[in-house]
C-alpha cells in the first residue's frame, strides 16, 4: 500500500495507542487506519456514539500542521477521494476519511492531537454535519469569551461568566438579564445626554 500523499512511498506496519494496527509512512509520518482495525479497536473502548456527546476536552492544541495536510489525496486502499473535516481552532488541521471503505488518514501529529482533544475514539463523528455545526458554535463561544477577557480583564470577565452561568441555571434568570439590560440602557442614555 502506497502513501496517499506521496505515492512513491510504501506504507509500513505500525501501531497507535499500543493496540491499534495501522500503516505508516516512513517519510511524511502520516498514518492510514483501516476501517476494520479502527472499529474493533474502538469497540473495546468507551466512545461517544453521537456527535452531541462528543465534547472535546479542549478546542485547541499547540500543533504544527504537516505541509501535506491540505494536499488532496485518494484512498490508498480503494482509490476513492478522501473527504476532509476541520479540527482545532487556532491551529486547525484536517482529518481525512474514505467514505467508500471507511479508512482514516491522519497526517503527521494529527492522531496525537486528536488524542489530546479526546476525539480519537470517535473520528467518524467528526465528519457529521451535526458535529461541524456544534464545533463552529463552540469555536464562536470561545472567541467571544476571549474577547470579553481582553476587554474587561480576567478578573471582571470571570465574574461576568460566573454570573451568566448562575442566571442560566436559575429558573427566573431572565429577570436578572432584564435588570442588567435596563440598567445598562439607562447608563448609556446618560452618557449620550450629559445635560
- Which one of 52, 55, 64, 78 is in contact with Zn ion (CB under 5 A)? 78
Residues 93, 113 contacting (CB under 8 angstroms): yes
CB 4 to Zn ion: min, Å: 8
Binding mask 37-76 for Zn ion (x = CB under 5 A): --------------------------------------x-
Q: Is 185 exposed, middle or buried (0-12, 13-18, 19+ CB in 10 A)?
A: exposed
**For residues 86 and 191, what is the distance between their CA atoms, to the nearest angstrom?**
44
Site for Zn ion in 89-148 (CB under 5 A): 98, 100-101
CB 73 to Zn ion: min, Å: 10
Binding mask 14-33 for Zn ion (x = CB under 5 A): -----------x-xx-x---
Nearer to Zn ion, 75 or 122 (CB): 75
Strand order, beta sheet including 82-87: 12-16, 20-24, 31-33, 104-106, 93-98, 82-87
Q: Kindly give the interhelix angle for 173-192 and 154-169, rounded to the nearest 10 degrees.
A: 140
162: its cell numbers: 460566573
Nearer to Zn ion, 81 or 175 (CB): 81
Nearer to Zn ion, 16 or 75 (CB): 75
Biggest distance spanned by C-alpha atoms of the chain: 79
Report which DSSP code applies to 10: B
- Which one of 77, 112, 115, 139 is in contact with Zn ion (CB under 5 A)? 77
Using CB under 5 A, list all residues that contact Zn ion: 3, 5-6, 9, 25, 27-28, 30, 75, 77-78, 80, 98, 100-101
Amino acid at each position: 500500500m502506497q502513501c496517499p500523499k506521496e505515492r512513491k512511498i510504501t506504507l509500513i506496519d505500525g501501531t497507535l495507542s499500543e493496540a491499534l494496527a495501522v500503516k505508516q509512512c516512513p517519510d511524511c509520518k502520516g498514518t492510514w487506519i483501516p476501517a476494520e482495525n479502527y472499529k474493533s479497536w474502538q469497540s473495546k473502548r468507551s466512545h461517544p456514539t453521537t456527535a452531541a456527546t462528543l465534547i472535546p476536552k479542549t478546542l485547541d492544541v499547540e500543533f504544527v500542521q504537516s505541509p501535506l495536510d491540505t494536499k488532496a489525496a485518494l484512498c490508498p486502499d480503494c482509490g476513492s477521494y478522501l473527504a476532509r473535516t476541520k479540527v482545532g481552532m487556532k491551529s486547525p488541521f484536517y482529518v481525512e476519511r474514505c467514505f467508500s471503505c471507511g479508512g482514516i488518514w491522519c497526517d503527521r501529529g494529527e492522531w496525537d492531537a486528536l488524542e489530546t482533544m479526546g476525539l480519537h475514539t470517535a473520528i467518524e463523528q467528526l465528519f457529521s454535519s451535526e458535529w461541524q455545526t456544534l464545533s463552529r458554535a463552540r469555536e464562536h463561544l470561545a472567541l467571544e469569551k476571549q474577547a470579553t477577557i481582553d476587554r474587561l480583564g480576567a478578573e471582571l470577565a470571570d465574574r461576568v461568566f460566573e454570573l451568566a452561568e448562575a442566571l442560566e441555571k436559575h429558573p427566573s434568570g431572565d429577570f436578572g438579564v432584564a435588570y442588567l439590560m435596563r440598567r445598562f440602557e439607562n447608563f448609556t442614555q446618560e452618557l449620550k445626554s450629559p445635560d
